[in-house]
Structure 1
Amino acid sequence: MRRLLHILGLLGALAATPVAAATLTVEGSRFVLTTDAGQRLTSEQLVGAVLDMTDPNGRPIRARIDAVRPAKERAATLLHDLSVQLPDGSFAPMCEPDAYGRKSGFPVPGQFDADGRYSRPPGKWFLTCTSGSQAKCILWGYDPASRGPGGEDLGPFYQACQNMVRAAYDGRGVAHTRDGTSIDLWDVLRIQVPDSTDDPKYKFEAGWGTAGAVCVAHTRIPDILPLDVLLKSAPQLRASPCDEAEARRRGALIFNRSKG
């Protein structure tokens, strides 16, 4: 059965609003539709549903849930194949392919502001594609809607991961990397562990917290942002040496290596 759901927001950052017939909310990576009669339908039951949305300019966008399945990296995360309707009436994938060729996405409770800062005000959620940093960090285990192995709040780890993936050294959301750049990451909770310890091409890059890097040994793409330029604008990131031990001392939650 096709159901029309009315949603207002941005493609990639969609905020749900209730309508008279039904309310659409998000629990984890799952849509939950509650009808006025109290019927509760989740993503798995909404395959084929059409979402009516508007972009920031007020233009209508119509999206369809084509399939739902657990992610192979993390079974608790449900991947949604989403399509948008084109002017000729046909549908095309909403998401660009990720490294595995998947054109999938899923909803996430919370929101990001213009500076890339994550928060979880009640009722807010957004859509993310697996090709982007907001989804990658959840698939790697830093789900802000979940808890760590010892019950830790993973919200700060999710924010630190965003900074790390984007090479947002100053924590303001500005990326200093390129798509497809290989990195190796690990964290203080051992949700992820390092893979590149025996590969001399990979060097310690930085330790990361919620406000960006805590120290930087080398920048990921020097021709985008040279290390001396970064340290001149952010001298607090200087350390001799900047290694895992120093980054831990400064409160890093996540660490990474990159080719350097």
Structure 2
Amino acid sequence: MIATFMKLAVGALLFCAAFASSSLPAAAAAAASPPERIEKTDVVGTAFRLTFSSGKVLQGKELVGATLSLRLSGDAVAHRVRIDDIVTDSRDPDGEVLLHKVTVVDGRTPVELCDPDPDGNRWMFPLKGQWNSEGKMISQSGFTLTCSAGAQGKCVRFGYKPWKTLSDGTDLAEYHRACVNMVRADYCGDRATTRTGMKIDIYDDRGIQREAESSGSDELSFEAGWSTAGAVCVAHTRVPDRMTLDGLQRSCPRLANRLGSVLCTAQNAKTGLFGKALIFNRSH
């Protein structure tokens, strides 16, 4: 699949917390006879699920209009966040991904969360676990509000859903981590080297994303195969003024003998010559 990344939002992690309180939308409030408390907050896929003291459960689109009190990880101050809309992602053939429009309503002027994604939308959704600003999962507990403009959010929308396991036991969480490295051009698994406006072709060994046909002056060439640790080999770097093959050889010893288009071919990456690659990409 060809994708153009208009903005790489490395700060996709916004809130990691449990609900401190919740103001429900009118329909949900009417359905929840007072007094009721939120006993449990879960994230299922990309949907919130609230369990109340009466046993009532509200989740997904039922929470449109709710105002939530969320606390930043390590922050004692709670922030009031309103869910303005929730829609099913039209790109998801399974209809599992829910996109949320969210606004911070702490101050006089509401502030919409998230930078615009390549389509100009400011969607976000929750994911179980916590990620740091480098796109790495640091905890299985809690949840993260992930922007569609960020690497974590993009990779979910590409089909690499970290909560899913395929029928043959394949854990898509590993594909999601490999995809985050690929989006960030994080070859050594330690820092992003991409920039705004990069056009790449993404594909994998499971057919979740398929290699696009290329033609004419727009032809892309194989860049790298990707694993949960970063690249398994690199044919060429995506943004040479941010990282070169020579720079990779110096800064990432494990890639020293896996660099250049002679050694790092799509075939070598696919056959596991340099280790198991889950995702592949082409770029200019």
TM band (smaller chain): 0.7 to 0.9
What's 2:120 paired with?
A: 101
Identity of aligned residues (%): 39
User: What amino acid maps onto 2:231 in structure 1?
Assistant: A
Name structure 1 gaps, 5 residues minimum. Answer: 1-9
What's 1:252 paired with?
A: 277
SS of 1:163's partner is helix
Distance in 1, Cα, partners of 2:100 & 2:126: 9
Partner deviation per Cα, 1:168-189 (whole Å, 9 max, x = no partner): 11112x1101123111110011
Offset of 1:111 from its aligned partner?
A: 2.1
Offset of 1:76 from its aligned partner?
A: 1.1
Tell me if 1:81 matches 2:101.
yes
What's 2:37 paired with?
A: 21
Please report the RMSD computed on the Cα atoms of aligned residues, expressed in angstroms: 2.2
How many aligned positions are there? 247
Over 3 Å counting, the alpha-carbon distance change for 1:199 and 1:153 in structure 2 is farther
SS of 2:198's partner is coil
Distance in 2, Cα, partners of 1:156 & 1:54: 28
Q: Given that residues 19 and 70 in structure 2 are in contact (C-alpha distance below 8 angstroms), is that contact kept between their aligned partners in structure 1?
A: no
Q: Given that residues 161 and 176 in structure 2 are in contact (C-alpha distance below 8 angstroms), is that contact kept between their aligned partners in structure 1?
A: yes
Distance in 2, Cα, partners of 1:132 & 1:113: 12
Partner deviation per Cα, 1:185-217 (whole Å, 9 max, x = no partner): 100111101114435541111100011000001
Partner deviation per Cα, 1:82-103 (whole Å, 9 max, x = no partner): 0112521x32311211111211
TM-score normalised by length of structure 2: 0.80
Distance in 2, Cα, partners of 1:252 & 1:223: 26
What's 2:68 paired with?
A: 51
| Higher RCO (CA-CA < 8 Å; seq separation 6+) | 2
Distance in 1, Cα, partners of 2:47 & 2:87: 11
Q: For 1:92, which of 108, 111, 114 is the aligned residue?
A: 111
Name structure 2 gaps, 5 residues minimum. Answer: 1-11, 22-35
Over 3 Å counting, the alpha-carbon distance change for 1:108 and 1:205 in structure 2 is same
- 1:102-181 equivalences under 5 Å are 102-113=121-132, 116-118=135-137, 121=140, 123-148=141-166, 150-172=168-190, 174-181=191-198
User: What amino acid maps onto 1:21 in structure 2?
Assistant: R
Over 3 Å counting, the alpha-carbon distance change for 1:241 and 1:135 in structure 2 is same
Distance in 2, Cα, partners of 1:12 & 1:113: 10
Q: For 1:224, which of 242, 264, 267 is the aligned residue?
A: 242
Q: Which moved more, 1:69-78 or 1:48-57?
A: 48-57
User: What amino acid maps onto 1:162 in structure 2?
Assistant: V
Over 3 Å counting, the alpha-carbon distance change for 1:150 and 1:179 in structure 2 is farther
Q: Given that residues 148 and 189 in structure 1 are in contact (C-alpha distance below 8 angstroms), is that contact kept between their aligned partners in structure 2?
A: no
Distance in 2, Cα, partners of 1:182 & 1:28: 28
